[in-house]
Amino acid sequence: MRSPAHAVHASLGATFAPFAGWEMPVSYQGVVGEHTAVREHVGIFDVSHLGKVLVSGEGAAEFVNNSLSNDLRRASPGKAQYTLCLTEEGGVVDDLIAYLVSESEVFLIPNAANSAEVARRLAAKAPAGVTVDDQHRAFAIFAVQGPQSREVLLAEGLPTDMAYMAFEDARWSALAGTVVRVCRTGYTGELGYELLVPWESAADALTRLVDCIAQRGGQAAGLGARDTLRTEMGYPLHGHELSLEINPLEARCGWAVGWKKPQFWGRDELLRLKSAGVPRQMWGLRALGRGVLRPGLTVTRENQVIGTCTSGTFSPTLKAGIALALLDATAEVDAGAEVMVEVRGRHMPCAVVRPPFVVPKTQ
């Protein structure tokens, strides 16, 4: 599958690669430049591959709250919430954003690879009167991220004065009054917004946004920069820091669990793990010398294997190798401890860090 704005990306010189069944732009002029543009100015990402699932009908919000991990009752209509779809064994089917529109409407944005499975699980459990509609190709999603992201939206006449994780539906006058959903969120740590745009308006919307961003020293950014930015923030990526084998407590995502809720998928097992303690936990690693850290590398301490890197990259901001890693609880490491990572037959010294690695300039 392709983004509805694929032709626009091609005209910008994008390099494409397959990702979760989609052909997506990985980079345009280089990952480091795109990364830096987002940290210092503004960038735009096409993340239309993300899923879109509408849960609607009487009691839809209550059903979602009884299914997914976070407590949707803590949100009010017009707010979005990070949450998890879990198995009864506590594994993570996916992490996603839930947009609470009303008590009878919740719009979900899962990851591309897991969207169909999230929709299937919800549809299988939905009570009478609640429908689950996979709208994957109904909307494009563009993320405008960086210190000047607010200026870009204001220039386009779109709303910006909203709290973090709040959203608003607005008419985009420059696009013939097309209704778009604007949410104050993102995956980079910087000030940012995500725009849900009707599929058929995606190319025109992206063209306008790219032009507006270029006037402010920014540029289009691909999935390569998206990954370096999220790793600097220590944000999890499903399939790396979260999976059917990695539960929320191991990934330090317990804050996205409504512990006081009487019901959600996986609740009993997570309560057991919370009481007993998890055998491993997520930490950050920063290379103390030259070298790039990658997923799958072995972490040792005093010649004993204590864990594995789940994500790894070169940080353009820090100009150092960084990684996220699952480390054994028995190793009793803490921030500042030194460990070794095996890279191509040599041991690279790394400092244990509690993410984020980078503190954004604006949020």
Tens of pLDDT, residues 308-341: 999 999 999 999 999 999 999 999 999 999 999 9
- Of 119, 139, 230, nearest to 180 by C-alpha is 139
pLDDT per position as a tens digit, 198-233? 999 999 999 999 999 999 999 999 999 999 999 999
Angle at 239 between CA 16 and CA 72, to 5 degrees: 110
Phi, psi dihedrals of residue 290, rounded to the nearest 5°: -75, 145
Residue 346 neighbours by CB under 8 Å, 6+ apart: none
> Computed over its alpha carbons, how large is the radius of gyration of the chain?
21
Instruction: Answer for the pair 156, 85: CB distance below 8 angstroms, yes or no.
Output: no
* pLDDT score recorded for residue 345: 84
Euclidean distance between CA atoms 53 and 214, whole angstroms = 32
Model confidence at 344, pLDDT cuts 50, 70, 90, reads confident
Model confidence at 361, pLDDT cuts 50, 70, 90, reads confident
Q: Is 328 exposed, middle or buried (0-12, 13-18, 19+ CB in 10 A)?
A: middle
Query: Is there a cis peptide before residue 279, judged by omega within 30 degrees of 0?
Result: no
List of E strands, 103-148: 105-109, 131-134, 139-145
Instruction: Answer for the pair 220, 44: CB distance below 8 angstroms, yes or no.
Output: yes
Assess whether pLDDT exceeds 90 at residue 42: yes
Euclidean distance between CA atoms 321 and 314, whole angstroms = 4
- Of 231, 223, 193, nearest to 28 by C-alpha is 223
Model confidence at 252, pLDDT cuts 50, 70, 90, reads very high
In the chain, alpha helices (H): 6-11, 31-40, 60-67, 115-125, 149-155, 202-214, 223-233, 267-276
* pLDDT score recorded for residue 363: 65
3-state helix, strand, coil in the chain (%, to 5): 25, 35, 40
Euclidean distance between CA atoms 240 and 251, whole angstroms = 10
Average pLDDT, the chain: 97
- Of 221, 233, 165, nearest to 193 by C-alpha is 165
Q: Is 275 exposed, middle or buried (0-12, 13-18, 19+ CB in 10 A)?
A: exposed
Question: CA separation (Å) from 78 to 65, 105, 145?
Answer: 16, 11, 21
Percent of the chain beyond pLDDT 90?
A: 98
